[in-house]
């Protein structure tokens, strides 16, 4: 019996392995493909990956990949020539602009701050936000509310939203997130937890303002400015930033140029919106 | 109606063919288990070459996207441990009492209703448990024990309810399997019903009851969705029952969608740890269920 067991198992494994192999070789042998490697900001990654899928759907001879390296690494590899387009979620430094890197804004990113309905506050300053999310301000009365301890809700550490909020709100004050915060895995869960936890505060992609109010929380103004797409576009809303695709030098006729143009087209911008960012061209 | 030897031979051959086909299908599951283990271990291996095991299990600092990153899952091991122990503490007494009632006392329609509802409880998807947890358990813990309600305690209350059917069903079956002679002998010696149950029936059903508890542990350790919604998910070491916590399974699912490189393989390494733990539990069940058979024979 044992012998039988072993034989059958081995046969099964061999079948499975050969199936895996077949899958692997097929991919390599399909005709001559030109491979392009882009990379950079992980915030840009969902847009880039969705756009690449749509862009290459009709082009069987082009294969593009986007590596989530982080903005700085991406820009470095771009100037070294390892990749041919870089995604960046921060503005370029002077040194990078001098080495002929050329940024193109492809989307805007804005984050709303939302609170539970029990919080009788309508506005916070950026400095107060930094204090709350770093754990230095722990009671609502310190920012003009009632005497109740603040429950901070954050996104999971690897999400782009977590990183965006840290860069825009905490980094300018050289602060880091407090560890005693409830972690929500996605925007829907975050909205639900803000709505169900008294004295809670959290941040969420601006596209989700309506879920927050539907769930029963409310969205704050920051430095007196409402979080609307319009205020992000005119630059008055502080928790916002631009997302860039960066090329080395001016793009001439190439797959890269086609890809950038695709991103800026109506189709490309609808992909931007689908991925919860604010389109730049309307 | 004489059968020719040829006919018999053909039938024997058909029999053998069917049994071989059945054997082959049975081994799909064996192959699946092997492939899954290979896959997880292969994905996790690069991690162990980069981060020493001692740091992985010993450190409580989980900052996978920091520079330099830190991959310490000690807090998550602790959270998994505490949540499971608490869930068992809540669940076992209730489940055992229920199993005793079902096997020894319950009769007729009421027993039928009870049994059906326990089966139903086992079939409820874990996301529903999680939502009920957010709506009922979290506010309850918040108002009675303080804190924000998302806690080790909330997670273990939800888990306790989820593992009830596992413990009840297997315990009930093993209590029922205790022979009538044992009970009659005990009664003949003048023991009361309760004395019979507590001194004769339960000890005789011990191995089945322990197996049910170990299976409950397995279910509790592996549960993800429900605890994710009520545990708070903060990557901190749990210091009290009301403090937030992140279990091993929560950690895998939280980071899975964005992780890459070493971070991704660290999640597979977490899975390997879980996998070994479940294997250990299975070995334990194997050891427990084997013993009494020897005694009987």
Ramachandran sector of residue A236 (left: φ over 0; alpha: ψ -120 to 50; beta: rest): alpha
Distances (CA, A) of A17 to A11, A21, B37, B45: 10, 6, 14, 19
Chain B residues whose beta carbon lies within 8 Å of the beta carbon of residue A197: 138, 142, 148-150
Task: Flag whether residue A159 sits within 8 Å of chain B, measured between CB atoms.
Answer: yes
User: Domain limits of chain B?
Assistant: 5-50, 74-290
> What is the C-alpha separation between B88 and B213, in angstroms, rounded?
8
* Domain residue spans of chain A: 5-108+242-274, 110-240
Residues of chain B in contact with residue A157, where contact means CB-CB under 8 angstroms, are 63-65, 235, 255
Can you give the pLDDT at residue A28? 45
Residue B250: name the closest of B155, B163, B157 by CA: B155
Nearest-Cα residue of chain B relative to residue A161: B258
In tens, the pLDDT along B5-53 reads 568 888 888 889 999 999 999 899 899 999 999 999 999 999 998 888 8
* CA gap A206, A213 in Å, rounded: 12
Omega prior to A181 cis, within 30 of 0:
no
How far from the centroid of its chain's Cα atoms is residue B296's Cα?
28
Nearest by CB to B258, which of A159, A184, A192? A159
Q: How far is it, in rounded angstroms, from Cα A236 to Cα A223?
A: 9
Q: Give residue B147's pLDDT.
A: 84
Class of domain A5-108+242-274: alpha beta
Q: Tell me: ipTM over 0.90.
A: no
Distance, in Å, from the CA atom of B276 to the CA atom of B280, rounded to the nearest integer, reads 6
Q: Which of A138, A179, A199 to mutate to test the interface with B (most CBs of B within 10 A)?
A: A179
The DSSP secondary structure of B127-165, one letter per residue, reads HHHHHHIIIIIHHHHHHHH-TTS-SHHHHHHHHHHHHHH
Q: How far apart are the CA of B99 and the nearest CA of chain A, in angstroms?
A: 36
Report d(CA B90, CA B105) in Å as an integer. 23
Q: Length of chain A, please?
A: 282
pTM over 0.80: no
pLDDT of residue B5: 59
Best of B65, B66, B261, B265 to mutate (most A CBs within 10 Å, chain A): B65
Tell me: the pLDDT tens digits for B95-150? 999 999 999 888 888 889 999 999 999 999 999 999 999 999 999 999 999 888 99
Q: Which residue of A has its CA nearest to B255?
A: A158
Strands (E), chain A: 34-40, 62-68, 85-88, 101-115, 123-124, 151-155, 182-184, 200-205, 218-219, 221-222, 240-248, 278-279
Contact, A200 vs A194, CB < 8 A? yes
Report the C-alpha gap between B16 and B10 in whole angstroms. 10
CATH 1.10.3720.10 correct for B74-290:
yes
**Window from A94-98, B138-142, B272-276 with minimum mean pLDDT:** A94-98
Residue A27, pLDDT score: 43
CA–CA separation, B281 vs B289, rounded Å?
12
Q: For domain A110-240, give the CATH number.
A: 3.40.190.10
> Is the pLDDT higher at A186 or at A81?
A81
Specify the pLDDT at position B223: 92
Burial class (CB in 10 A: 0-12, 13-18, 19+), B262: middle
Query: Distances in Å between the alpha carbon of B28 and those of A12, B24, B145?
Result: 8, 7, 49
Is it true that A5-108+242-274 and A110-240 share their CATH fold?
yes
How far is residue A115's CA from residue B149's CA, in Å, rounded to a whole number?
A: 17
CA distance to partner chain A, nearest, from residue B275 (Å) = 20
Cα–Cα distance measured from residue A91 to residue A75, given in angstroms and rounded to the nearest whole number:
11
Q: Do A5 and B148 touch (CB under 8 A)?
A: no
* pLDDT class of A14 with cuts at 50, 70, 90: low
In chain B the beta strands, taken as DSSP E runs, fall at 62-63, 70-71
Chain B contact set for A16 (CB, 8 A)? 31, 35
Pull the structure tokens for residue B293: 């058979």
- What confidence tier does A25 reach under pLDDT thresholds 50, 70, 90? very low
Is the Cβ pair B34, A184 closer than 8 Å?
no
Neighbours of A1 (CB within 10 A): 6
Number of Cα atoms under 13 Å in the Cβ half of residue B123: 6
């Amino acid at each position: 019996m044992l012998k039988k067991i072993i034989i059958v198992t081995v046969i099964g494994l061999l079948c499975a392995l050969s199936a895996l192999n077949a899958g692997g070789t097929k991919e390599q042998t399909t005709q001559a493909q030109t491979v392009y490697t882009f990379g950079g900001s992980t915030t840009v990654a969902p847009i880039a990956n969705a756009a690449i899928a749509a862009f290459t759907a009709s082009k069987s001879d082009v294969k593009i990949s986007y590596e989530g390296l982080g903005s700085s690494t991406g820009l470095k590899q771009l100037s070294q020539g390892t990749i041919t387009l870089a995604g960046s979620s921060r503005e370029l430094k002077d040194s990078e602009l001098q080495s002929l890197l050329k940024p193109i804004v492809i989307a805007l990113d804005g984050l709303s701050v939302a609170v539970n309905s029990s919080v009788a506050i309508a506005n916070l300053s950026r400095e107060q936000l930094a204090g709350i999310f770093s754990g230095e301000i722990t009671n609502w009365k310190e920012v003009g509310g009632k005497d109740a301890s603040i429950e901070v809700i954050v996104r999971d550490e690897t999400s782009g939203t977590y990183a965006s909020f840290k860069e825009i709100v905490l980094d300018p004050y050289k602060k880091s997130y407090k560890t005693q915060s409830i972690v929500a895995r996605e925007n829907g869960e975050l909205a639900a937890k803000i709505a169900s936890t008294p004295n809670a505060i959290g941040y969420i992609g601006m596209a989700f303002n309506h879920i927050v109010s539907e769930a029963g929380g409310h969205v704050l103004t920051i430095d007196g400015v409402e979080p609307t797409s319009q205020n992000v576009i005119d630059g008055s809303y502080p928790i916002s930033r631009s997302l860039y695709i960066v090329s080395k030098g001016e793009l001439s006729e190439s797959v890269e140029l086609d890809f950038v143009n695709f991103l800026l087209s109506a189709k490309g911008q609808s992909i931007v919106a689908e991925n919860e960012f604010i389109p730049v061209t309307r | 109606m004489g059968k020719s030897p040829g006919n018999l031979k053909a039938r024997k051959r058909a029999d053998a063919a069917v049994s071989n086909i059945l054997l082959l299908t049975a081994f799909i599951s064996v192959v699946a288990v092997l492939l899954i283990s290979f896959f997880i271990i292969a994905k996790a291996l690069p991690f162990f070459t980069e981060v020493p095991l001692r740091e992985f299990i010993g450190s409580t600092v989980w900052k996978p996207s920091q520079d330099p990153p830190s991959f310490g899952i000690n807090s998550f091991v602790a959270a998994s441990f505490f949540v499971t122990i608490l869930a068992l503490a809540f669940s076992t007494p209730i489940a055992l009492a229920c199993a005793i009632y079902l096997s020894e006392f319950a009769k007729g329609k009421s027993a039928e209703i009870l049994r059906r509802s326990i089966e139903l409880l086992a079939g409820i998807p874990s996301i529903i448990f999680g939502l009920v947890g957010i709506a009922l358990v979290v506010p309850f813990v918040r108002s009675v024990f303080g804190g924000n309600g998302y806690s080790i305690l909330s997670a273990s209350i939800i888990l306790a309810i989820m593992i009830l059917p596992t413990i009840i069903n297997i315990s009930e079956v093993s209590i029922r399997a205790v022979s009538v002679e044992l009970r009659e002998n005990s009664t003949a010696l003048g023991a009361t019903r309760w004395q019979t149950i507590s001194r004769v029936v339960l000890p005789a059903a011990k191995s089945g009851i322990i197996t049910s508890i170990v299976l409950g542990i397995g279910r509790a350790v592996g549960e993800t969705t429900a605890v994710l919604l009520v545990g708070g998910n903060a990557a901190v070491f749990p210091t009290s029952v009301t403090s937030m916590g992140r279990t091993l399974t929560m950690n895998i699912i939280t980071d899975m969608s964005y992780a890459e490189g070493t971070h991704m393989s660290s999640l597979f390494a977490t899975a390997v740890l879980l996998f070994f733990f479940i294997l250990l539990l299975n070995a334990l069940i194997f050891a427990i269920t084997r013993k009494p058979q020897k005694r009987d024979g």
